[in-house]
């Protein structure tokens, strides 16, 4: 019998912000699989965004180890190419570049890879088609709705078919209809392309619709109680 290696493994992860004396995360442990959807829940300021930043290599931990398919994050070189090819990010605020069209924004993660210009355009259009925005490809972000901007951010996150998608309150600024659409797009990536999707959210109905719910409180992570009693998303 061989040991199973999860897509993502976290052991003893800690984060302390020395300048302000804040211990944001303490002894975080997590195994997560390809194709799984995970909700990260907890009160504001509990460390959800910090944990996503560590998982996404946007910040370095104070202590602990993270593994991607059994490889220590510290051994992954160069990290910017790994982020571009294997990680997708979606934030509460879309962070689209205002002077670039939606297609150009979506194609931007591909610039850090070996993908040629024509291939970048083709893949960006396919991603926009997946989120129902191919007809808006040449529009600037200011000329589309808030829901469309967030869907474009989803397209940017999935353009490389990343192994892991990290979403930080992705529906926080959307109405319920657009919020459900964005969430459904993330779940589709997990189901169709075996992506691991980790979503930080205050939306308990969204959390109930994921495969697993994790609760973060006072910098410590635990499995959350089931949300089966909540209304369906």
Six token digits for residue 37 = 């959807």
- Please report whether residue 4 resides in a domain: no
- Please report whether residue 230 resides in a domain: no
224: pLDDT strictly greater than 80: no
- Please report whether residue 27 resides in a domain: no
- Please report whether residue 69 resides in a domain: no
pLDDT band at residue 172 using 50, 70 and 90 as cut-offs: confident
User: Whole-model pTM above 0.75?
Assistant: yes
Taking every pair of Cα atoms in the chain, the longest distance, rounded to a whole number of angstroms, is 57
- Please report whether residue 228 resides in a domain: no
- Please report whether residue 72 resides in a domain: no
SS3 (DSSP) at 83: helix
200: DSSP letter = E
CA distance to 37, 49, 57, 58, 82, per residue, from 79 (Å): 24, 20, 8, 10, 5
SS3 (DSSP) at 115: coil
Q: DSSP H helical segments within 22-111, as ranges? A: 48-55, 79-86, 102-107
Structural domain span for residue 115: 33-60+77-223
The count of domains in the chain is 1
176: pLDDT strictly greater than 50: yes
- Please report whether residue 2 resides in a domain: no
- Please report whether residue 87 resides in a domain: yes
CATH for 195? 3.40.50.300
pLDDT band at residue 107 using 50, 70 and 90 as cut-offs: very high
227: pLDDT strictly greater than 80: no
């Amino acid at each position: 019998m061989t040991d199973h290696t999860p897509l993502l493994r976290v052991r003893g992860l800690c984060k302390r912000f020395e300048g302000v004396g804040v211990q944001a995360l303490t002894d975080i442990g997590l195994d997560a699989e390809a194709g799984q959807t995970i909700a990260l829940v907890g009160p504001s300021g509990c460390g959800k965004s910090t944990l996503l930043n560590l998982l996404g290599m946007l910040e370095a931990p104070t202590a602990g180890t993270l593994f991607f398919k059994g490889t220590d994050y510290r051994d992954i070189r160069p990290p910017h190419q790994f982020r571009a090819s294997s990680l997708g990010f979606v934030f509460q605020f879309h962070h689209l570049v205002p002077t670039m069209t939606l297609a150009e924004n979506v194609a931007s993660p591909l610039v850090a890879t070996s993908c040629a210009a024509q291939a970048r355009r083709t893949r960006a259009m396919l991603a926009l088609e997946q989120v129902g925005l191919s007809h808006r490809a040449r529009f600037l972000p200011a000329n589309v709705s808030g829901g469309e901007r967030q869907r474009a951010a989803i397209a940017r996150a999935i353009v490389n078919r990343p192994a892991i998608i990290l979403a930080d309150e992705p529906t926080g600024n959307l109405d319920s209809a657009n919020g459900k659409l964005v969430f459904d797009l993330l779940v589709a990536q997990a189901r169709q392309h075996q992506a691991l999707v980790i979503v930080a959210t205050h939306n308990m109905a969204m959390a109930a619709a994921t495969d697993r719910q994790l609760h973060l409180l006072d910098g410590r992570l635990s499995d959350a109680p089931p949300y089966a009693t909540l209304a369906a998303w």
